[in-house]
Amino acid sequence: MSADIQHFIDGAVVKGTSGRTKDVFNPATGEVARQVALASKAEVRAAVESAARALPGWAATPPAKRAQVMFKFRELLIKNHDRLAEAVSMEHGKTFDDAKGEVARGLDVVEFVCGIPHLLKGEYSDNVAAGVDSVGIRQPVGICAGITPFNFPAMVPMWMFPVALACGNTFILKPSERDPSAPMIIAGLLIEAGLPKGCLNVVNGDKEAVDALLHDPDVGAISFVGSTAIGRYIYETGCANGKRVQALCGAKNHMVIMPDADMAQAVDAAMGAAYGSAGERCMAVSVAVTVGEEAANSFIEKMAPKVRGLKIGPYNDSAAEMGPVVTQESKDRIERYISEGEADGADVVVDGRGLSLQGYENGFFVGGTLIDNVTKDMSVYKDEIFGPVLSVVRAKTYEEAKDLVIGHEYGNGAAIFTRDGDTARDFVRDVNIGMVGVNVPIPVPVAYHSFGGWKASLFGDHSIHGMEGIRFYTKLKTVTARWPSGVKEGAVFNFSGGSDV
């Protein structure tokens, strides 16, 4: 069976030649929907060579003209919004509304880089010494690559390549082989927007393609979003091969609920943050830390019926609030964690194991799960489950709750729900977390700020998109210049074409 989804190299769809393919599933039915070609090292090299040919011309293109391509790309994304969302939903399984929100968050970054002429403005210091001026300018890194995860197949690539391209780089995208259709659509839209061929190439593949990018001497920078284990490997291997690397990795995001919190607001926030996108996102709230028994009991009492009432179904069910997880392996792993938590002594208040929907009996569905009396030594607390599972840890004091956040190996996101400004301020200042919310459950920064965690949630010195993204995809050059004073004798100035000497 030949692959339905190929590669996008040098401005066109290119048929894979490796002979290797991988099944792409419909998570709602459990059936194989299509197949994707897996790139060989030679095919990755062809993409690199295409990017290398395109680089000089694109890097020399004025930022204002690069911005014009991004403006046109923005228009095409808006026009094809639902088409992209459907491609995401069909292969990932998330609800159509979730998928539309994903495309919109990627679009935000495209809109941000439409201002690239302003964002690339350099620094200037006049007369740093007698007759000497100093100028700082930012120039493209060169050929950049992005390795992106299955959970946001449209948004995460658009957190990378629009910034890289706007800065004058060329880009090679290696999307997840689990849901590769949306990136291929996006690549075609960029060509339609006027991006020169070779500036963006898409190679579908697995570890063979990843290793080819990590070891290719012409690739200057690697962006990655995914698990911590793979992120550490990519960071260490990429750096060992002389590349700059940003690797955004795993998370275990805590939501601290103080006794004075608006409990109705906290419960509504936890529902969306824990179960949206079936919990398959690095900013999902997977731990609720209640402070005091009264707050804990109130939270469980109000939360449990809402979790039981979650409407679960395929993406094309307009009533569905949560879809399936992405693969059978994911379903099995999530249910195993629930069982481990139960065996360790936690109370499974709402159990999502064994869910079967009529007509979708073979789908990868896991019901919303709420686990109470979780302790920090349990695997259900320590590990990133990446599924619709919310663990509740009962803390006696605010300091105990804060120490849980500080002591966890991950540092991606955290939130606190309270009416007390002093407590919120202390939490924001003290926690060693990259993104913090105050009465906001998923503190994902807007596109003109930057996204990134601390500790084991980020390897590298730069977060993604925003000004951190601009800095990652450019290199700083500082020029110190002295010019002879006065005008050379015999100089003739021609204002239509410069000066003549």
Tokens of 222: 């690697």
How far is it, in rounded angstroms, from Cα 201 to Cα 165? 12
How far, in Å, CA of 61 to CA of 43, rounded?
Answer: 27
Q: Which two structure tokens, joined as six digits, stand for 396?
A: 């006696």
H or E segment and range at residue 480? strand 474-482
Cα gap 110→149, rounded to integer Å? 19
Q: Are strands 389-395 and 369-372 parallel, antiparallel or unpaired?
A: parallel
- How far is Cα 188 from Cα 126, in angstroms, rounded to an integer? 45
**Distance between CA atoms of 261 and 247, rounded to whole angstroms?**
35
DSSP annotation of 148 = -
Does 282 qualify as catalytic in the annotation? yes
DSSP string over 96-126? HHHHHHHHHHHHHHHHHHTTHHHHT--EEEE
Here the tokens at position 62 are 């004025």
Q: What share of the chain is helix, strand, coil (3-state, %, to 5)?
A: 40, 25, 35
CA distance 435 to 419: 20
Q: How many CB atoms lie within 10 A of CB 221?
A: 25
* Cα gap 220→245, rounded to integer Å: 9
Pair of tokens at residue 54 = 């395109």
- Cα(402)–Cα(55) distance, integer angstroms: 48
Task: Give the active site residue among 167, 199, 249, 282.
Answer: 282
Q: Closest by alpha carbon to 105, among 454, 459, 462, 451? A: 451
Backbone angles phi, psi at 252, to 5 degrees: -145, 85
Residues 6+ apart with CB under 8 A from 240: none
Element (H, E) at 34: strand 31-37
Q: What is the dihedral of CA 166, 169, 174, 179, to 10 degrees?
A: 10
Instruction: Report residue 123 CA to chain centroid gap.
Output: 30
Contact by Cβ (8 Å): 95, 86: no
Residues forming the active site: 282
